Amino acid sequence: MMTERPVLGWSDLAGKRVGVWGFGREGGANLRKLRSLGVEPVLVDDDPAEGAGEVLRTADGGLDALLKCDVVVKTPGLSRYRPEADRLRDAGVVLAGGLGLWLAEADRERVVVVTGTKGKSTTSSIIGHLLNGLGQRAAVGGNIGVCPYDPDLAAEKPDYWVVEVSSYQATDLAVTPPVTALTSLHPDHLPWHGDVERYYRDKLSALSRPGAALTVANGDEPLIRERVALLGPRVEWVGEDDDPGATWMEPLHLPGRHNRRNALIARAVLRALGIPGASGDTAPRASGERAARASGDTALRAAAEGYEGLPSRLKEIGVVAGVRFVDDSLSTNVLPTLAALDAFPGERVALIVGGQDRGIDYAELAEAVGGRQAPTSVRTLPDSGPRISRALKAAAPGTSVVDCPGLEEAVRDGFEWARPDGVVLLSPAAPSFGRFRDYRDRGDAFARAMRNLDI
């Protein structure tokens, strides 16, 4: 059963004893927001960076300081299920998140929440781009982009906020805007949530808090359809085969059928918001409706022009001796890696996978690799590489698999295999942490390794 969160906004924190727990990017925005309210909070972090100032370690007096607070605003990466969080709640301390505090006081008729295991960043960026192209002022924030409540953004007053919400952030929300979108659902982030069913419940809670009206959802995934009761009061299903004649999304230049669905989800969201220019009918039944759709598609096609995809999301970064190099470092789960492979039908692919090991099952990836008709070879990386290798050997014993000690070796070996006309695809199906700062750092390392090839 979903636990209701107290509806608490940022303005409610004025005059209270407040702690900021976790001092990363969002923690900095939390501090600035509190200071703008005249609140000087206690600052606590598990491992404060050098030079961070008066920041206490959680295990070295920090928890005791937080226990004296009325409200603790935590960073999303800190699990609500860790023992310290339990101690705070048992002591009557309210645990909140910056995004939830903002949404409680925002004009939610002009906010769209987008969530999903994968595809939420691309879909959020498409929605924001189309809104701007159709004459609205839109900003993209949350898990991608900026913190909507950061006082440094006080001058920005967009007509619409498109907010990407992670499963972590979803647990901080007490309310939901009328229009939301769900792009996918697949096991992920199990250490934070504890088990897969709790992950699903937490993720989907962003769609069904008080205020929810419509969820535009990926209709191609059985996992989502099986959980329709958690998707809010009304659902509009969108699939990659819908509206086969539509061409308005071509200027987005996004490869793969999954990205076609992401674009169709974005259009459905705009229609639900009543945005002029987005009202083309997906199933016209009369000549007047056909004309309306043509007009809508024309406006959407113009709005789609100039779109720039996300960094490290199926980005071709170069060609060396006929071999194309594609950076998909943002794929930190099996689901987007499956979609990345599907984006290269009939092409030889040297797939580079592996990274932080979160214990997820790689059997589905192994089956997909083994089922490809075109030649496919896999280069694995630490730390999850050995488990991926075992899954491949069990499900696809004929697949070429090479365990590599690092990314540079994987790039070099994959390039030699892919010559003369294949693809080297970095789509790790795992996070970068432990070896790289983040997915961008990993993508940059991939590009350097490509440039360093001795041809």
Please check whether the two domains, 10-101 and 315-451, share a CATH topology. Answer: no
pLDDT tens for 253-272 read 998 889 999 999 999 999 99
pLDDT tens for 31-82 read 999 999 999 999 999 988 765 568 999 999 999 999 999 999 999 999 999 9
User: How far apart are alpha carbons 414 and 395 in whole angstroms?
Assistant: 21
Asked whether the predicted pLDDT for residue 325 surpasses 80, the reply is yes
Mean pLDDT for 191-218 is 96
From the list 140, 133, 142, 179, the residue with the least C-alpha distance to 158 is 140
315-451 CATH, one of 3.90.1150.10, 3.30.479.10, 3.40.50.10900, 3.90.190.20: 3.90.190.20
Alpha-carbon 227 to chain mean position: 20
pLDDT tens for 125-179 read 999 999 999 999 999 999 987 899 999 886 678 999 999 999 999 999 999 999 9
pTM: 0.84
Domain residue spans of the chain: 10-101, 106-304, 315-451
Alpha-carbon 52 to chain mean position: 28
Q: Are 118 and 189 in contact (CB under 8 A)?
A: no
Asked whether the predicted pLDDT for residue 314 surpasses 70, the reply is yes
Q: Half-sphere exposure of 113 toward its Cβ, with a 13 Å CA cutoff?
A: 36
Instruction: List the CATH code of the domain at 10-101.
Output: 3.40.50.720
Q: Got the DSSP string for 368-435?
A: HHHH-SS-EEEEE-TTTHHHHHHHHHHH-TTSEEEE-SSHHHHHHHHHHHHTTT-EEEE--SS--BTT
Asked whether the predicted pLDDT for residue 301 surpasses 70, the reply is yes
What does the pLDDT read at residue 195? 92
Which is higher by pLDDT, 68 or 295?
Answer: 68
Q: Got the DSSP string for 202-250?
A: HHHGGGTSTT--EEEEETT-HHHHTTGGGS-S-EEEE-TTSSTT--TTG
Asked whether the predicted pLDDT for residue 387 surpasses 60, the reply is yes
What does the pLDDT read at residue 335? 87
Six-digit token pair at 410?
């994987």
What does the pLDDT read at residue 26? 87
340 band by pLDDT with thresholds 50, 70 and 90: very high
Asked whether the predicted pLDDT for residue 373 surpasses 70, the reply is yes
User: How far apart are alpha carbons 200 and 248 in whole angstroms?
Assistant: 33
43 φ/ψ angles, rounded to the nearest 5 degrees: -110, 125
Lowest mean pLDDT across 164-173, 278-287, 309-318, 372-381: 278-287
User: How far apart are alpha carbons 9 and 141 in whole angstroms?
Assistant: 18
Q: Are 31 and 150 in contact (CB under 8 A)?
A: no
Whether the CA torsion 200, 103, 143, 61 is positive or negative: it is negative
296 band by pLDDT with thresholds 50, 70 and 90: low
Six-digit token pair at 154?
């006080």
For the chain, give the percent of residues with pLDDT over 90: 80
Residues 6+ apart with CB under 8 A from 387: 357, 362
Mean pLDDT for 18-39 is 93
Mean pLDDT for 403-407 is 96
CATH superfamily of 106-304: Mur-like, catalytic domain (3.40.1190.10)
Mean pLDDT for 96-120 is 96
For the chain, give the percent of residues with pLDDT over 70: 94
Lowest mean pLDDT across 108-117, 118-127, 195-204, 291-300: 291-300
